[in-house]
Structure 1
Amino acid sequence: MTQKQLKTFIRTEHKSSWEARTPLTPNAVTQLAKKGIPVVVEKSKYRYFPDEEYAEAGARLSDSLEGAELVLGIKEPAREAILPDQVHVAFSHTIKGQAYNMPLLQEFIDKKATLIDYEVMRDKEGSRTIAFGRYAGIAGAIDTFNVVGRKLALNGIDSNLCEIEPTYKYDTIANAKHCLGELPPITGYPLKVLINGTGNVGGGCVEVCEWLGLERVTPEDLLAGRVPEGNFYCQLATVDTVRRIDGGPFDSGDYRKNGKKAYESKFHEFLGSYNVLLQTIYWDDDYPKQLPRSVMQAHKDALPIVIGDISCDIDGSLECTKKASTIDEPAFTYFVDEDRIEDGISWYGPSVMSIDHLPCELSRDASEHFSRILTQYMPELVRMDLNKPFEECGLERLLREATIVYRGELTPAYRYLEDCLANQPKEPQARDQN
């Protein structure tokens, strides 16, 4: 007897007209059909790959999610898109107890639906297996340098940084690499870049700096002032930015366990040595902030002219990040004395790029990468048995550990979210980068 499969749909994205990514490309749909896994595609006018390409790939097009049992998306679904008993796979932005998405999490519970989150799909070593980190890093660095060029131009400084376009105008990584690599060495204003973080996002930032021909310096040399006269970049790891409060040695495992209870930030020691910051680290309230307002006030003459907060933690590690910016309006300026922001770019305070959906500027490349990985999980996903208890539904470790809600109940690993659900705010706010 053939095992029943869940009816699989790709839904349209609703959060932004810029969101053109897809979890499965037309080519992936063709390959899955050959394996006996048909996919229905909800129509979209924004998706990078037009509906016609999916139809040519053998998919059936639909005007809604009616009849869908397994729903694949990128960003979190609209609450009204969740139907009873459905399984949704998406970046839900709920695992930190994000207040603005607790109503969404409650919707899954109320509808007795199932939520599987890409963000917590991890291998046995704890590394994420499916993500857009590199694409966020590349797009974030390019957009930040675009803001730098615009800021210099406002102050009458002639620099070829002004030739750097927003990421979406390059369309693909290959084209962006070619165009930035063709630029002559940066002139008119020395570009001194600090990349905070060594993960996939930080790696994407490094790629862009190298396309521009920036020289790499070590954190030790940066602190000692042993840097080139012109353009350079430096990449920091966690060990460079925090220290134990009791003076003991840094230990990464201990830091993850004890955070700000045992460690304090020393990030301020680097202020004045760079003029552009690319922030890429994971942060939550268990860890020390790196640029709280008090530190920024105390060192306001040493602050960078532009901050690319690719992590986009609102009022988080960098307290100048008061909101997420957009591709249409990529930056705002922070005035530290008044602790306020103004939309747009000004010379008289750090300008902050905090776009929270950067990878969609590279929608084709990002979708193809994502689709190749997700395709590997599809046979397991479509054959999960929702009639059985969670432990017996057929999901292996990786997908089981990524399941936040199963048939309307928080799974054991995520029951800590019960307190967050009980304290839902009246007004949703803030967002996350994926």
Structure 2
Amino acid sequence: MRPLTIGLICEGKTPPDKRVPLTPKKCVEAESTYPGLQIVVQESAIRCFKDQEYRDLGITVRPDVADCDILMGVKEVPVNQLIPGKTYLFFSHTVKKQPANRELLRQVLKKNITLIDYELLTNEQGERIVAFGRWAGIVGAYNGLLTYGRKHGLYELKPAWQCVDMEDMQEEFFKVKKLPPIKMAVTGTGRVAQGAVEVLNRMGLRQVSVYDYLYHDFREPVYTQLRSSDYNRRRDGRVWDTPDFHRYPEEYESTFGKFLPVTDLLIACAYWHPAAPRLFEEADTRRPDFRINTIADVTCDVNGSIPTTKRASSIPAPAYDYNCQTGELEPAYSGPSNITVMAVDNLPCELPRNASRDFGRQLLDNVFPHLVGAADGHLDDVVERAIIARAGRLTERYQYLSDYVAE
């Protein structure tokens, strides 16, 4: 391969994100795997891996990386920091026409930038090959138990963001000894949900079948993991068909009502399409048999699948209360009859070193073989599918964004 330089940019979004695409050791591995590849790190005072940790392993760290062939970050790049004519990789959050990032994509086009979005890197089956989802689930489940403990005065856990890493967070698990025989429901089966289940298992909590969860009582805390078919059905009564549900979610209705009288803590990890049914409605929270009092909305779709998620919360202030009688939000833990909601929308940032290590592994295994090949002009489908804009023009796959960026 011809010489190729990749620059790891300093994250510029506010609030700051401490994650990085490649850790120091992953940079060394990448350079040793691909002769001709050099990785240059832009100086950063906020990154979870310090500049000196890169320098100690022989990786170049300097104030400016504008001369690199590819610029790689994590979150959206502020528009005033975009460098004309460059190739970028980051999560742009534009393909769903998110209003907050309309100007970002406009400036990408105006400045003749080539934008590759991590979210769009997929295999032949359409499955994403790089994601932080597992860590969203891990931190989300932990935060859910932390929130439940605080709400009921059972125990106090150190927030995940104050833990050095996953191992430090696990030490906090041992404090969860006073958990009553509550029932917890985890929605979803993807990366996010598996991360949540990983935490519950490490905490020694027992998993039960959906049937037992619904119809049996237990003398210990238990959880169940729900697939889409466990809480949705076709409106016309036809048999469940998962591909059909993903293709025509508007043809389905929620059956989550049967879980409302038996669930104490809901950990929502399932992907939700705006055309799909909500799990429940605000009116349901006023039902006499509505039992849920704590919700960890890991997916954090505001006004989405969980109607009590009225806004995203923040890492320093992760929870708020929903008053079921008024429908208004109140300070966290302000009333025993309120539902306490944890809806942090950047959960992996709470364990940035672990999340960065995992993400870097995925990049090296699943993306770099295709990305480095692109340096020789041989773009394969994996990279092509993820290019939203090339040299300032929307690619054919993403022409539907034309009206989104129209002035």
TM-score by length of 2: 0.92
* Aligned partner of residue 108 in structure 1, secondary structure: helix
Is 1:210 matched up with 2:212? no
Q: Is the 8 A contact 1:136 1:310 kept in 2?
A: yes
Partner of 1:135: 135
Letter in 2 for 1:400: E
Q: Is the 8 A contact 1:17 1:46 kept in 2?
A: no
Partner of 2:237: 247
* Aligned partner of residue 416 in structure 1, secondary structure: helix
Is 1:40 matched up with 2:40? yes
* Aligned partner of residue 316 in structure 2, secondary structure: coil
Q: Is the 8 A contact 1:8 1:382 kept in 2?
A: no
Q: C-alpha separation between the residues in 1 aligned to 2:89 and 2:122? A: 15
Q: C-alpha separation between the residues in 1 aligned to 2:21 and 2:119? A: 14
Is 1:292 matched up with 2:281? yes
Question: 1:127, CA displacement in angstroms?
Answer: 2.1
Q: C-alpha separation between the residues in 2 aligned to 1:336 and 1:114? A: 47
Q: C-alpha separation between the residues in 1 aligned to 2:20 and 2:116? A: 16
* Aligned partner of residue 46 in structure 2, secondary structure: coil
Partner of 1:407: 391
**4+ long deviations beyond 6 Å:** none
Partner of 1:271: 260
Q: C-alpha separation between the residues in 2 aligned to 1:207 and 1:27? A: 26
Partner of 2:303: 315
Partner of 2:211: 220
1:91-121 deviation digits (Å, cap 9, x = unpaired) = 1111222121121111111111111111121
Equivalent of residue 229 in structure 1, options 206, 219, 237: 219
Q: Is the 8 A contact 1:32 1:375 kept in 2?
A: yes
Of the structure 1 ranges 248-257 and 32-41, higher mean CA displacement relative to structure 2 is found in 32-41
Question: 1:18, CA displacement in angstroms?
Answer: 5.6
Partner of 1:103: 103
Q: C-alpha separation between the residues in 1 aligned to 2:201 and 2:276? A: 30
Q: C-alpha separation between the residues in 1 aligned to 2:285 and 2:296? A: 16
1:179-199 deviation digits (Å, cap 9, x = unpaired) = 41x346434x33321101111
Equivalent of residue 331 in structure 1, options 292, 313, 319: 319
**Which runs of no fewer than 5 residues in structure 2 stay unpaired?**
none
Partner of 2:378: 394
Q: C-alpha separation between the residues in 2 aligned to 1:110 and 1:77? A: 15
Partner of 2:247: 257
Q: 1:31 to 1:394 in 2, by over 3 A?
A: same
Q: C-alpha separation between the residues in 2 aligned to 1:121 and 1:201? A: 17
* Aligned partner of residue 264 in structure 1, secondary structure: strand
Q: 1:243 to 1:127 in 2, by over 3 A?
A: same
Of the structure 1 ranges 310-319 and 93-102, higher mean CA displacement relative to structure 2 is found in 93-102
Identity among equivalent positions (%) equals 33
Letter in 2 for 1:250: W
Question: 1:75, CA displacement in angstroms?
Answer: 1.1
* Aligned partner of residue 75 in structure 1, secondary structure: coil
Question: 1:417, CA displacement in angstroms?
Answer: 1.9
Question: 1:168, CA displacement in angstroms?
Answer: 2.3
Q: 1:385 to 1:30 in 2, by over 3 A?
A: closer
1:241-275 deviation digits (Å, cap 9, x = unpaired) = 11000011110111111111x11111122102111
Q: Is the 8 A contact 1:70 1:382 kept in 2?
A: no
Q: 1:173 to 1:19 in 2, by over 3 A?
A: same
1:47-87 deviation digits (Å, cap 9, x = unpaired) = 11100111222332232443243111111111112111111
Is 1:416 matched up with 2:400? yes
* Aligned partner of residue 57 in structure 1, secondary structure: coil
Q: C-alpha separation between the residues in 1 aligned to 2:176 and 2:393? A: 57
Question: 1:126, CA displacement in angstroms?
Answer: 2.4
* Aligned partner of residue 201 in structure 1, secondary structure: helix
Q: C-alpha separation between the residues in 2 aligned to 1:383 and 1:248? A: 47
Q: Is the 8 A contact 1:303 1:350 kept in 2?
A: no
Is 1:147 matched up with 2:138? no
* Aligned partner of residue 321 in structure 1, secondary structure: coil
CA RMSD of aligned residues (A): 2.1
Question: 1:33, CA displacement in angstroms?
Answer: 3.2
1:204-248 deviation digits (Å, cap 9, x = unpaired) = 11122122222212112222x213133110110000111000011
Partner of 1:427: none
Q: C-alpha separation between the residues in 2 aligned to 1:109 and 1:294? A: 44
Q: C-alpha separation between the residues in 2 aligned to 1:385 and 1:207? A: 38
Equivalent of residue 170 in structure 2, options 152, 177, 180: 177
* Aligned partner of residue 152 in structure 2, secondary structure: helix
Q: C-alpha separation between the residues in 2 aligned to 1:265 and 1:207? A: 26
Q: Is the 8 A contact 1:183 1:212 kept in 2?
A: no
Question: 1:406, CA displacement in angstroms?
Answer: 1.4
Q: C-alpha separation between the residues in 2 aligned to 1:226 and 1:421? A: 53
Of the structure 1 ranges 117-126 and 62-71, higher mean CA displacement relative to structure 2 is found in 62-71
TM-score by length of 1: 0.87
Q: Is the 8 A contact 2:143 2:160 kept in 1?
A: yes
Question: 1:136, CA displacement in angstroms?
Answer: 0.8
Q: 1:325 to 1:345 in 2, by over 3 A?
A: same
Letter in 1 for 2:159: P
* Aligned partner of residue 233 in structure 2, secondary structure: strand
Letter in 2 for 1:3: R
Partner of 1:364: 353
Partner of 1:199: 190
* Aligned partner of residue 235 in structure 1, secondary structure: strand
Letter in 1 for 2:113: A
